[in-house]
Amino acid sequence: MPQLNPSPWLAILIFSWLILLTVLPLKLMPHTFPDAPSPEALEALMMQPWAWPWF
């Protein structure tokens, strides 16, 4: 049964992982995410503590 011969399949697996690990990060890293918080937005989110009525 040729499926049990690991020689060609192991090479295909290694080369496909090498391609995925080298090409995909180069394609994904230049993209910026529009929902990244800015420092000004983080300062505006400072909220006052809740005044509990029973405390």
What is the tens place of the pLDDT at every residue in 1-55? 556 777 788 889 999 999 999 998 888 888 777 776 666 655 556 677 777 777 5
Give the pLDDT score at 11: 87
Task: For residue 5, give both structure tokens.
Answer: 């011969």
Residue 53 has, within 13 A of its CA and on its CB side, a CA count of 0
Give the pLDDT score at 14: 93
Span between the terminal Cα atoms of the chain, in Å: 76
Give the pLDDT score at 44: 58
Q: Is the pTM of this model over 0.85?
A: no
Distances (CA, A) of 9 to 3, 18, 19, 24: 8, 14, 15, 22
